[in-house]
Amino acid sequence: MASVKYDKATRLYPGSTVPAVDALDLDIADGEFLVLVGPSGCGKSTSLRMLAGLEEVNAGDIFIGDRNVTDIPPKDRDIAMVFQNYALYPHMSVAENMGFALKIAGVNKDERATRVLEAAKLLDLEPYLDRKPKALSGGQRQRVAMGRAIVRQPQVFLMDEPLSNLDAKLRVQTRTQIASLQRRLGVTTVYVTHDQTEALTMGDRICVLKDGILQQVGTPRELYETPNNVFVAGFIGSPAMNLFPAELADGGVKFGTAVTPVERSVIDAAGGKVVTVGVRPEDLIVSTSGNGLPVEVDIVEELGADGYLYGHADVVGQRVDIVARVDGRVHPHSGETVFITPEPKHVHVFNAESGERLNSAVAIG
Amino acid sequence: MSASLNITSAVVDPALLDLPWNLPLDSWPDDAIVTLPKGISRHLVRFVHLSGYVVAIKETTEEMARREYDMLRTLQRLDAPCVEPVAVITGRASDDGAELMPVLVTRHLRFSLPYRALYSQTLRPSTATRLVDALAVLLVRLHLAGFFWGDVSLSNTLFRRDAGAFAAYLVDAETGQLYEGGLSNGQRENDLEIARVNIAGELLDLEAGGRLDENIDAIDVSNGIVEAYRSLWSELTGWEAFDQTERWRITQRVERLNDLGFDIEELAITTAGDSTQVRIKPKVVDAGHHSRRLLRLTGIDAGENQARRLLNDLDSYAAASYPGSDVDEEQVAHEWLSRVFEPVIRAIPRELRGKLEEPEVFHQLLEHRWYLSQNESRAISLAEALSSYIDSVLRHRRDEATVIAPVTESIGVPTLDTAAMPVIDDADSDAPGSWRDKI
């Protein structure tokens, strides 16, 4: 097992002037589950493929442990790409299916048996080692495929959108399986997804990329509570954080008729009269009268105990969409006007121009 | 049938509409199905007759079906050997309104065979090697086009007989990706490693099922793809340096490539400053050198090796008919076609025409004549060889025009609802004895 380090690693595709991955600096600890996430074209898959040796690194270096692997061919990097369309062979037993790649690699028979047994125990497949794949359930077949990667005992597992072809139900099941298996194995894992929910539920840490540039890396909680900029704020969390312009007032920012206090230093740092504020749907207080930002309710989505109110407001001359969490049973209805204010300690303030965060971490809990 | 059935197809075949899209593929009536595929593959694939040809229908997710359809169309435009995409059909629903899976429809390549159809009892060493060689050529061609396959295997390939060798065609483009700027060495190496491991797995599986000739070492054969690929790749793309005085080596390189079946479209030639060294490197190569020449001269569409064989016969015909004279190539080709090739093909009884492709029949006939001549130590005429060939060889072969065997007999990791996957409760399937003995 090993750590992974990207040291100003850059990938510039031939004929392009903008790097697909731009001077990526990233340290991944030994045994860590790191998720690379971002929208299509952000460079997450390219970053993974650079680590796998499938993409050239035009500048900078990549290390696995202490070894600089920048110019080492993929098969000599001691990594395993998991879920690369593994097929199971019908005439071979579960044990043979899991172990045949070791045979090709010249691993001796005793060692093959030891590693296969070890992996089978981890995957709850020990009773089935003599079985043929057709006598296994779908979930067991998937675990055999994982076993094929595990027995190789690679330094690093790489997974590129492994769940994208699964149906919704299987995706959720497999997500949990992969995450718990990775924790049991303790093998450093780099996982690529475009789905922020997958990232939040699986990763020890998440690295958000956009246009080839690292936006923020941190634990799911850090990214959720303290997004570095407007992009991360809007990308992480579902429904997404409300982000809209707000005017500064004495000692705070204006929410319609209300003023929510923010630190003096934030106001000084803003450098203008308007900032971008972010409030998560669960951090908005909705009232039918009184102070706050007037919001016209478009629709309320009931989800049982909770519901989400979707509406719109007029802020600094712009129409903005607002989402707020409300009680699932007692809530306003479409067409009504409600007033919203944020939980005072849960306002994220960003520079209106650069999108960078201005205030310190919001209170947790 | 669902009112919202949606067919995406470049060439709309109205017969597509007549298929029972309101039924899940696994319950299509037998009269629609050509042959039931055996085994379980990653997706359900079935073969169906459609106005005079056979199509393969694969149930999959909409996203994957569309992606693969587009990818196969792009590969076709690039002239890469692959199956022909016909349509993507979405919006299927059963009569009671239940949603059915989208499908990808591809056209079955006539006379193409899955590797599992290329042996009767066991896979022989020479066949295994020829399969691996054909796959290496296919992989090189795809890589030249900038295509990373991601799932190279014998199962994802169809093979056509090609005058003693095989020509390979890509069947499954699901994991593939096209890179406009070409592939990196790492991507090529990765595909090659995937190929090596998958081929080994497939051969070891045949071995486990008692279907591999005992003289075959599965791992040795699978390693063969690495060597075959590398030597072809460096011949097609490598730099070659020589002295200014050895300029004939340019022609030699071109001829070597032609012999391998490739044409050079561009050649990079560099000379370094005051040095007398010349360096050359083919920049664009295109497969099908002999096929194209044969097609141009005779209109016969043949595999590369078949074309080479037929052209040799055409050249001998020209030499024998017009000794020493510089006769027009196209005129002789026309003559050869009407006096040699077509009479042979016309002489094949109608009921035997589905056995082999015409150029392959001609190739085998030439082989047969050679063996007869060897045995009898005399010159045998084509007519004499033909009747012997028809009765002693062709009649005893099976029809290969539409051999339908499972596209893949391997069992995939489920990507769809696992509850729908059959679990075969088959205690007998447990290998007797301990897994330790077999690993």
CA–CA min distance A171, chain B (Å): 9
CA–CA min distance B247, chain A (Å): 32
pLDDT confidence tier of residue B276, bands split at 50, 70 and 90 = confident
Closest residue of B to A98, CA-based?
A: B439
Which residues of chain A make contact with B196, given a CB cutoff of 8 A? 104
Q: Which is more confident, A1 or B288?
A: B288
Task: Name the nearest CA neighbour of B329 among B368, B289, B380, B294.
Answer: B294
Alpha-carbon span A232 to B199, nearest angstrom: 44
**Angle between helical axes of A138-150 and A168-185 (0-180°, round to 10):** 40
pLDDT of residue A268: 86
ipTM of the predicted assembly exceeds 0.90: no
Contact A52 B190 (CB under 8 A): yes
**Angle between helical axes of B185-208 and B125-144 (0-180°, round to 10):** 160
Which residues of chain B make contact with A116, given a CB cutoff of 8 A? 435, 439
**Which residues make beta-bridge pairs with B148?**
B177
pLDDT of residue B35: 53
pLDDT digits (tens, 9 = 90+) for B302-315: 999 999 999 999 99
> At A246, which amino acid appears?
A
Q: Residue written as tokens 């105990």? A: A305
Residue A252: pLDDT over 50: yes
- Chosen from A167, A171, A173 to mutate, greatest number of chain B CBs within 10 A: A167
Contact A116 B155 (CB under 8 A): no
Contact B181 A14 (CB under 8 A): yes
Which residues of chain B make contact with A170, given a CB cutoff of 8 A? 414-418
Instruction: Determine contact, residues B425/A135, Cβ cutoff 8 Å.
Output: yes
Task: Name the nearest CA neighbour of B395 among B340, B349, B342.
Answer: B349
Closest residue of A to B219, CA-based?
A: A104
- Calculate the dihedral angle through the C-alpha atoms of A269, A272, A278, A279, rounding to the nearest 10 degrees: 90
pLDDT confidence tier of residue B415, bands split at 50, 70 and 90 = low
The predicted model scores a pTM of 0.83
DSSP H helical ranges for B78-161: 125-144
Contact A142 B64 (CB under 8 A): no
Q: Which long-range contacts (CB under 8 A, 24 or more apart) does A353-357 make?
A: A353/A272, A354/A229, A355/A229, A355/A230, A355/A231, A355/A276, A356/A228, A356/A229, A357/A226, A357/A227, A357/A228, A357/A229
CA–CA min distance A319, chain B (Å): 35
Compute the half-sphere exposure of residue B236: CA atoms within 13 Å on the CB side of its CA.
23
Task: Name the nearest CA neighbour of B330 among B346, B313, B341, B318.
Answer: B318
pLDDT digits (tens, 9 = 90+) for A47-92: 999 999 999 999 999 999 999 999 999 989 999 988 656 778 989 9
pLDDT digits (tens, 9 = 90+) for A93-128: 999 999 999 999 999 999 999 999 999 999 999 999
pLDDT confidence tier of residue B409, bands split at 50, 70 and 90 = very low
Contact B190 A54 (CB under 8 A): yes
Instruction: Determine contact, residues A165/B64, Cβ cutoff 8 Å.
Output: yes
CA–CA min distance A85, chain B (Å): 7
CA–CA min distance B157, chain A (Å): 15
Integer CA distances (angstroms), B57 to B60, B77, B104, B405, in order: 10, 22, 6, 13
CA–CA min distance A133, chain B (Å): 7
**A14: Cα separation from own chain's centroid:** 29
pLDDT digits (tens, 9 = 90+) for B115-162: 888 887 888 999 999 999 999 999 999 999 999 999 999 989 999 999
Instruction: Determine contact, residues B32/B403, Cβ cutoff 8 Å.
Output: no
Contact B42 A95 (CB under 8 A): no
Structural element, H or E, at residue B289: helix B289-298
Both tokens of residue B102?
């989208």
Task: Name the nearest CA neighbour of A67 among A5, A24, A8, A23.
Answer: A5
Contact B431 A132 (CB under 8 A): yes
Sorted by where each starts, the structural domains of chain A and their CATH numbers stand as: 4-226 (3.40.50.300), 241-350 (2.40.50.140)
Alpha-carbon span B55 to B51, nearest angstrom: 10
Task: Please tell me whether the peptide bond between A239 and the residue prior to it is cis, using omega within 30 degrees of 0.
Answer: yes
Which residues of chain B make contact with A54, given a CB cutoff of 8 A? 184, 186-187, 190
